[in-house]
Amino acid sequence: MTARTSTLCVALAALLAASPALADDNSVTIGMILPMTGPSASTGKQEKAGAELYLQQHGDTVAGKTIVLAVKDDTGAADVTKRLAQDLVANDHAAALMGFGLTPLALAAAPIATEAKVPEIVTAAATASITEKSPFIVRTSFTLPQASAPMAQWALNNGVKKVVTIVTDYGPGVDAEKWFGETFEKGGGTIVERIRAPLKNPDFAPFLQRVADDKPDAVFVFVPSGFGSVFMKQFVERGLDKAGVKLIGTGDVTDDDQLADIGDAALGAVTAHHYSAAHDSPENKAFVAAFEKANAGMRPNFMAVAAYDGMDLVYRALEKTKGDASGPALLAAMKGMSWTSPRGPVSIDPETRDIVQNIYVRKVEKTDGALYNVEFATIPDVKDPYKAGKH
Ligand code: PHB
């Protein structure tokens, strides 16, 4: 070896030691695919911040492995999601895929997860049937039936008799419409009209005019995270709040990320969901404080907590497998895992690979000058009802 090549070798060794992610057998890559741009960019921003906070708090070493978080922007386009998923498993040897801001994006990655035998941890998308599309899908977000059926039950118990439903016209909206509507009608309520608004560039004004004409007791709404402020502003512009029409829904519409922007128009809205930044537990208080500190005061929403828990699930699974990062071993370790999340107690249903969690009924209130979804009732340990009948 010449002096020159030996200097090169020393330099290369130093480089590898300094960046274990480069060529370290011990590294475990988590490929996180998110919409960082486009109409669901708020989901990407929240999820990335949630995953990074977990890494910051727990360090990048678990069970002797070095965790590498590779965040990729799919811009909300399913063909890009699929290409990124392929690339992450083939070239980066990702041990897990994570993220997926919208249902079609989670579906696009499913065949890759199956073929590569790599867990696909869905931390955002919430159409109930997603987990049936690959035996390697595990979910830490929620399902629309999980939140919509309890909302209907609350409405029935609180004097609401006539409801118009408005949902975004794709998977999760169809789930919300069905599970709210069927539960409400079974309990003796009436759905006056079922309205579906387009996902792309929604203008709710004409639909809200129909609501005004129908004069229901309440409007039940589902819009995906990031679209709540458009809906709420138009609801107030149409004067529906003054007309005494109650606003109920899943918690996506009063998203913690958008509440400040929505403003007082949100006051009094009652929603059912699995996470509120106002959730009263020591774990959540610590989570919210650390998240706000790390992100210039940004408040975490339900997307952030699902990504944080997605990372937690990977760490716990690696501990259980003693560092075996092969897909089938990780998947087996994830099934049945239970832990305390900032949202409360959670577990992964070993049969369906969906998350089992509390659903909270909340009302938007002003506390210390800021708007929050204040939880006032808890339905414990809710399984996805869509799958409950099948298993
Ligand atoms: C979905 O596309 O599955 C989805 C996205 C955002 C939500 C809920 C569901 O808030």
The pLDDT assigned to 375 comes to: 98
pTM of the predicted model as reported, rounded to 2 decimal places: 0.93
Mean pLDDT for 153-176 is 98
pLDDT tens track for 59-82:
999 999 999 999 999 999 999 999
Residue 9 pLDDT greater than 60, yes or no: no
pLDDT at 21: 43
Report the interhelical angle of 327-334 vs 302-320 (nearest 10°): 110
CA atoms of 310 and 31, how far apart (whole Å): 12
CA distance 146 to 220: 15
In sequence order, the 6+-apart residues with CB closer than 8 A to the CB of 10 are: none
To test the pocket of ligand 1, the residue of 100, 141, 225 to mutate (highest count of ligand atoms within 8 Å of its CB) is 225
- Residues 6+ away with beta carbon under 8 Å from 276: 251, 256, 360, 362, 372, 373, 374, 375
Q: What is the pLDDT of residue 16?
A: 47
Four-point Cα dihedral 86, 89, 90, 93, nearest 10: 160
- In the predicted model, what is the mean pLDDT of residues 330-354? 98
* Integer Cα distance of 100 and 76 in angstroms: 9
Check residues 22 and 203 and name the one with the higher pLDDT: 203
Q: Which of these ranges, 38-42, 345-349, 361-365, has the smallest mean pLDDT?
A: 38-42
Q: Which atom of ligand 1 is nearest to the CA of 302?
A: 10
Tens digits of per-residue pLDDT, 231-260? 999 999 999 989 999 999 999 999 999 999
Residue 224 beta carbon below 6 angstroms from any ligand 1 atom: yes
Best of 102, 129, 167, 305 for a ligand 1 pocket test (most atoms within 8 Å of beta carbon): 102
223 CA from centroid of ligand 1 (Å): 8
User: Do the two domains 20-142+283-353 and 144-273+358-388 of this chain adopt the same fold?
Assistant: yes
Q: What is the DSSP string of 14-66?
A: HHHHH-TTTT-TTEEEEEEEE--SSTTHHHHHHHHHHHHHHHHHH-SEETTEE
| All structural domains of the chain with their residue ranges | 20-142+283-353, 144-273+358-388
What is 20-142+283-353's CATH superfamily? Answer: Response regulator (3.40.50.2300)
Angle, helices 302-320/41-58, rounded to nearest 10 degrees: 40
Cβ atoms of residues 109 and 81 within 8 Å: yes
pLDDT at residue 290, rounded to an integer: 98
Q: Is 172 in the pocket of ligand 1 (CB under 6 A)?
A: yes
Q: Whose CA is nearest to atom 4 of ligand 1?
A: 125
User: What is the C-alpha to C-alpha distance for residues 111 and 240, in angstroms, rounded to an integer?
Assistant: 44
Ligand 1 in contact with 27 (CB < 6 A)? no
pLDDT tens, 262-307?
999 999 999 999 999 999 999 999 999 999 999 999 999 999 999 9
Kindly give the pairing relationship between strand 355-367 and strand 344-348: antiparallel
The pLDDT of residue 30 is above 90: yes
Is 125 a pocket residue for ligand 1 (Cβ < 6 Å)?
yes
Any alpha helices (H) in the chain, and if so which ranges?
A: 3-18, 41-58, 78-90, 103-116, 144-157, 171-186, 205-214, 228-237, 259-262, 282-294, 302-320, 327-334, 385-388
Q: How far is ligand 1, taken at its centre, from the CA of residue 303, in Å?
A: 9
Name the closest-CA residue to atom 3, ligand 1.
125
CA 126 to ligand 1 centroid distance, Å: 5
Q: How confident is the model at residue 122 (pLDDT cuts 50, 70, 90)?
A: very high
Q: Sorting pLDDT into bands at 50, 70 and 90, what band is 391?
A: low
Q: Is 138 helix (H, G, I), strand (E, B) or coil?
A: strand
CA–centroid distance, residue 42 to ligand 1 (Å): 12
d(C-alpha 202, C-alpha 221), whole Å: 14
CATH class of 144-273+358-388: alpha beta
Per-residue confidence (pLDDT) for residue 390, from 0 to 100: 66
DSSP codes of every residue in 172-222: HHHHHHHHHHHHHHHTT-EEEEEEEE-SSS---HHHHHHHHHH--SEEEEE
- Position 20 scores a pLDDT of 42
Residue 25, pLDDT above cutoff 90: no
User: Which residue has the CA at smallest separation from atom 2 of ligand 1?
Assistant: 102
Q: Is the pLDDT of residue 219 over 50?
A: yes
What is the predicted pLDDT for the residue at 11? 52
127 lines ligand 1 (CB under 6 A): yes
Confidence label for 201 from pLDDT (cuts 50, 70 and 90): confident
